[in-house]
Amino acid sequence: MKRIAISLAALTLGAVAAPLGALAEIAPGDVQFDDYGAVETSLTGSSGNADEGRKIMTEKSLGNCVSCHAAEAYADVPFHGEVGPWLDGAGSRWTEAELRGLVINPKKTFEGTVMPAFYKVDGFNRPGDAYTGKAAPADLPPILSAEQVEDVVAYLMTLKDE
Amino acid sequence: MKMKNTLRTVCTVRTVAALTALVLAAPAFADEDAELVINGEIEIVTKTTAPAHLEGHLDEILSGWRFRSDETQAMEMDDFDNPGMLGAEAGFEQFETVMGSEGKSCMDCHDGVESLANVRPTYPKWNDDKEAVYTIQMQINDCLTERMGAEKQKYDSKTMLNFEAALASVSRGMPVNVAIDGPAQSTWEQGKEMYYTRFGQLDLSCANCHEQNYGNMIRADHLSQGQINGFPTYRLKNAQLNGAHGRFKGCIRDTRGETFSPGSPEFVALELYVASRGNGLSVEGPSVRN
């Protein structure tokens, strides 16, 4: 698998938790999915930070997963969406590789799903520059950085069935 | 094996989610069975059988009014409480105001706004002379420039939305009935294709939110069917009248997409298609939304 140095985009987006050891990461175009949409290898080569993952999932300016998914696990956050399934127990229903694949590009697991791909930079129809309504820059960054994806995966893995 | 397991889990999970989310997400919920009567006399159809062209997509069509909170719903039930009616009043005044080099007002050609009550229900509509589908705002601009010698007004400008509000107000209670066949058909098809096209980095179509998920919460927003029978709408969020194209623009922007401009041929086609999804609902504008 081809590894590249951290891109400028990833640096800006990854501002939440500055990487210390992560020097190489897998670019959006180089991600390898298995036949079921799972992604075996960590995008950063290391495991993520679950606390950061929770923040990313519940903050509007970051992953904003809460806009579609509810969970007891983050019941303190107001206004849970109902577009996607309840996420409690996701860490028991899925393996880490499957969850990574789901966050990177859920269309590989659920064909035609409304859930967006969070680590994908091309193949869109009229992509915009975030929420400005203007055209995307040529080097459109993924919605979440490699590190943020790993943080989210780490948090999802803590959502075990009782 | 993985996939099968997954699908089963997701189904159970969905049901639980639907029930529990009601508890967690608690912005004021609308009474979805309430009926809308304005000023105690104008009966508004906010729920009816879907038009035939929606077969396989929707059985029932619902006005956005049904998805709003009790308080927002109530504001639309009385013209004194509906801030959008101020825009309509301004529209009535504009109608009688002389504009442009010809020294004419709309009244020189039309017998009052009431005489145009069949306009809001049937627009966008094919214009034979111009050989194009015309929205109300396009028609008003033709009257202003070609008959009155007046300046063209900007799409979705305050002046335009006031005119639209006045025209809508006199049609309240009449069923939306835009023509989708004949010469308008290809524009309608274009709008339909747009409605089912996914836009932006979030890769979402109008249908993903307003057909597949109406009734569901998306964060604090209660998703409606995205109908435009209530336009122009007075939104509490920006405290002014809003046009349908402005709404389309906002929704495409929210997909992390590059939007289109109000008045663009794309939005004219989309307006015709979205209007046709509401054929049978009553004209309700100027409505109140959040």
Q: For residue A128, which phi and psi values (nearest 5 degrees)?
A: -110, 175
pLDDT in tens, B240-257: 999 999 999 999 999 999
Binding site members of B for substrate: 247
Number of structural domains found in chain A: 1
| Chain B residues within an 8 Å CB radius of A33 | none
Pairing outcome for strands B47-49 and B36-38: unpaired
How much is the pLDDT for B32? 66
| Cβ-nearest to B249 among A84, A120, A133 | A133
Q: Mean pLDDT throughout B172-186?
A: 98
How much is the pLDDT for B33? 78
Percent of chain A scoring above 70 in pLDDT: 86
Catalytic residue among B161, B251, B275, B283: B251
Residue B2, pLDDT above cutoff 90: no
pLDDT in tens, B116-174: 999 999 999 999 999 999 999 999 999 999 999 999 999 999 999 999 999 999 999 99
Residue A24 pLDDT level (bands cut at 50, 70, 90) = confident
How much is the pLDDT for A7? 44
With an 8 Å Cβ cutoff, is A36 touching chain B? yes
pTM of the model: 0.89
Structure tokens at B98: 């002389």
Residue B61, pLDDT above cutoff 70: yes
Q: Which domains does chain B have, with CATH numbers?
A: 36-288 (1.10.760.10)
Helical pair B244-253 and B265-277, crossing angle rounded to 10 deg: 100
In this structure, of B33-42, B194-203, B204-213, the range with the lowest mean pLDDT score is: B33-42
Q: For residue B273, which phi and psi values (nearest 5 degrees)?
A: -65, -45
CB contact under 8 A, A89 and B217: no
Residue A124, pLDDT above cutoff 70: yes
**Following DSSP, what letter does each residue of B147-190 receive, concatenated?**
IS-PPPPPTT-HHHHHHHHHHHHTTTTSBP----SGGGHHHHHH
Binding site members of B: 106, 109-110, 143, 206, 209-210, 247, 251
Q: Tell whether A10 is covered by a domain.
A: no
Q: Residue A77's domain spans which residues? A: 24-158
Give me the CATH number covering residue A144: 1.10.760.10
Residue B15 pLDDT level (bands cut at 50, 70, 90) = very low
Q: Is B121 helix (H, G, I), strand (E, B) or coil?
A: helix
Average pLDDT in chain B: 91
Contact present, B26 and A75 (Cβ < 8 Å): no
| Chain A residues within an 8 Å CB radius of B267 | none
Q: How far is B247 from chain A (nearest CA, A)?
A: 12
Is B251 tagged catalytic?
Answer: yes
How much is the pLDDT for B38? 97
Distance linking the first and last C-alpha atoms of chain B: 45
In this structure, of A4-13, A112-121, B32-41, B72-81, the range with the lowest mean pLDDT score is: A4-13
Residue in the block written with tokens 């041929």: B265
How much is the pLDDT for A162? 74
pLDDT in tens, B80-99: 999 999 999 999 999 999 99
The closest of B204, B192, B182 to B277, measured between CA atoms, is: B192
Q: Tell whether A147 is covered by a domain.
A: yes
Q: Tell whether A2 is covered by a domain.
A: no
Q: Tell whether A44 is covered by a domain.
A: yes
